[in-house]
Amino acid sequence: MKKILCSIAAILSCVFLHAQITINVTNINGYLNYGPGQIFPDTTDFKFDNRLNNYDTILLHRGLHFRNRLFNTMNHSITDVNISDNNSNDSPVIGIHGNGTVLRFNGIFDCDGGNTKPSMVIQDTGKLIIGSNATIDVINTAYFARQIWTWGDGTGTVEFEEGFIADLTSFATIPKGLGSCRFSNCTVITNHSQNIPLGYRPYQPTSSYDVNAHWVFENEAGSVWEVNTNNQNYIGGLWIDANMTVETNKTLTLSGVRAETNYIEGGYYINWGGIMIRRINGLPNQLTKTGADTLIITGDCGFDTGSVICVNEGMLAFDVDPFTDSTNKGYRIDYKNINVSSPNLILCSGSGGTILFRTPLARIDSLRLVTGSVLQTGIQQKITARSASLGGTLSVEVPASQTLQQGDTFDLFDITSVYGIFDSINIANRGNSIVWNTAHLYSQGKIFIESVNRRSDANGTGVINISISPNPFTNYFTIQIPRKNRNDDYRLSLHALSGQEILTLPLNQSETIIQAAMFKPGPYLLIIKNQNKINYHSIIVKK
Same domain, 441 and 498: no
Tell me: the pLDDT tens digits for 444-478? 999 998 877 644 333 334 556 788 888 888 888 89
Tell me: the pLDDT tens digits for 141-175? 877 778 899 999 999 999 999 999 999 988 888 88
- Residue 360: predicted pLDDT: 96
The pLDDT of residue 8 is above 50: no
Tell me: the pLDDT tens digits for 286-312? 999 999 999 999 998 889 889 999 999
End residue of a domain, out of 425, 452, 479: 452
Domains identified in the chain, total number: 2
Same domain, 444 and 482: no
End residue of a domain, out of 386, 418, 452: 452
**pLDDT exceeding 90 applies to what percent of the chain?**
52
Same domain, 396 and 530: no
403 to each of 46, 182, 398, 456, 489, how far by Cα in Å?
A: 69, 50, 10, 16, 27
- Mean pLDDT over each residue of the chain, to the nearest integer: 85
Same domain, 441 and 531: no
Residue 85's Cβ-count burial label (10 Å; 0-12, 13-18, 19+) is middle
Q: Identify whether 465 is part of a domain.
A: no
Return the closest-CA partner of residue 419 out of 392, 449, 442.
442
Same domain, 496 and 364: no
Return the closest-CA partner of residue 232 out of 256, 213, 208, 214.
256
Sheet strands side by side (includes 476-480): 467-469, 476-480, 511-515
Q: Identify whether 519 is part of a domain.
A: yes
Same domain, 408 and 318: yes
Name the pLDDT band for 6 (thresholds 50, 70, 90): very low
Same domain, 448 and 474: no
Q: Identify whether 503 is part of a domain.
A: yes
- Residue 18: predicted pLDDT: 45
pTM: 0.84
Same domain, 444 and 309: yes
Q: Identify whether 217 is part of a domain.
A: no
What CA–CA distance (Å, rounded) separates 20 from 81? 12
Return the closest-CA partner of residue 95 out of 128, 70, 52.
128
Same domain, 516 and 447: no
Same domain, 475 and 431: no
Q: Identify whether 33 is part of a domain.
A: no
> What residues make up the domain containing 320?
305-327+339-452
What CA–CA distance (Å, rounded) separates 126 from 64? 14
133 to each of 79, 109, 166, 180, 516, how far by Cα in Å?
A: 17, 11, 11, 19, 71
End residue of a domain, out of 452, 479, 512: 452
Tell me: the pLDDT tens digits for 173-186? 888 899 889 999 99
Same domain, 423 and 477: no
Q: What is the CATH number of the domain that holds 499?
A: 2.60.40.10
Name the pLDDT band for 487 (thresholds 50, 70, 90): low
Q: Identify whether 345 is part of a domain.
A: yes
Same domain, 320 and 387: yes
Q: Identify whether 24 is part of a domain.
A: no
Q: Identify whether 6 is part of a domain.
A: no
